[in-house]
Amino acid sequence: MKKNSNLNIKILPISRADILALLQFELENKSWFEQFTPARSAHFLTHAGMDEAVAALVAEMKEKKGAYYLAFVEGEICARVNFSCDGVGNAELGYRVGKDYVGHGIASYAIQNLLPEVKKLLDVTCLNAQTANNNPASIKVLENCGFNRIGIQRNAAQLHSKKIDLQLYEIKI
C-alpha cells in the first residue's frame, strides 16, 4: 500500500480483537459523527452491541459479502472503511474518520489503497457511495478518489429531526 506522507497509517481488516478499541473510537467521536450521520443505537455503543456488530462483519467478510477495515495511526483507530456487497457486482462504500484525524487525507488514502483489493476480494465492478449535502469533506473525499456524482436523492435521510438530501456517487473499478 502507498504510504501517506504525513502519517504512518496502517489499514487492517476488522477483527474480533478490535472490539474494545472500536467501541472507544465510536464513543469518543459520537458527537462528531452525529453532526453528519444519524445516531447509532444505544445498544451498538455498548460492549455487547459492538461485539455483535463486529461478529456480523467478520462473518460477512468470510462469506465475501463485504470488506470492513480499520485505519490506525500509532496503534489508535483513526478511521473505518466499509464495503458492503449487493450480490450483483456492486458494493456500497461507507467510512468515518475520527475528529482528531480530519483533514489529514486518511479517508482518501484508505479508499484509494483499498480499491484494488476490494475489487479482487469481492468481485465487484462498481462502488456506490452517498453523502449528505451538509458534509463537504465527504464530498471532497469521494471526488478526490475518482467517484462521479450521479444524482441527488431528495429528503432521503433524517438528521436531527430534519429531512436531508443525499448526493449519490459511483465509480467503476
The CA radius of gyration of the chain, in Å to the nearest whole number, is 15
pLDDT at 160: 83
Q: Centre a 10 Å sphere on the Cβ of residue 117 and count the other Cβ atoms it contains.
A: 15
Q: Is residue 164 part of a domain?
A: no
Q: Is residue 167 part of a domain?
A: no
Q: Report d(CA 69, CA 72) in Å as an integer.
A: 10
Distances from the Cα of 87 to the Cα of 119, 124, 126, 150, 172, angstroms: 13, 9, 12, 21, 16
Statement: residue 14 has pLDDT above 80: yes
Q: Is residue 34 part of a domain?
A: yes
Task: Evaluate whether 1 touches 12 at the Cβ level (below 8 Å).
Answer: no
Statement: residue 161 has pLDDT above 80: yes
pLDDT at 165: 92
Q: Is residue 72 part of a domain?
A: yes
pLDDT at 6: 65
Q: Using 50, 70 and 90 to split pLDDT, how confident is the model at 2?
A: very low
Report pLDDT digits (tens) over 130-147: 999 878 999 999 999 999
| pTM of structure | 0.91
pLDDT at 95: 97
Q: Is residue 1 part of a domain?
A: no
Task: Evaluate whether 107 touches 79 at the Cβ level (below 8 Å).
Answer: yes
Q: Report d(CA 155, CA 128) in Å as an integer.
A: 19
Report pLDDT digits (tens) over 15-54: 999 999 999 999 999 999 998 888 899 999 999 999 999 9
Report pLDDT digits (tens) over 57-116: 999 999 999 999 999 999 999 999 999 999 888 999 999 999 999 999 999 999 999 999
Q: Is residue 48 part of a domain?
A: yes
Q: Is residue 169 part of a domain?
A: no
SS3 95: strand
Q: Is residue 108 part of a domain?
A: yes
CATH number of the CATH domain containing 80: 3.40.630.30
Who has greater pLDDT, 56 or 37?
A: 56
| Domain of residue 75, residue span | 9-124
Q: How many domains, the chain?
A: 1
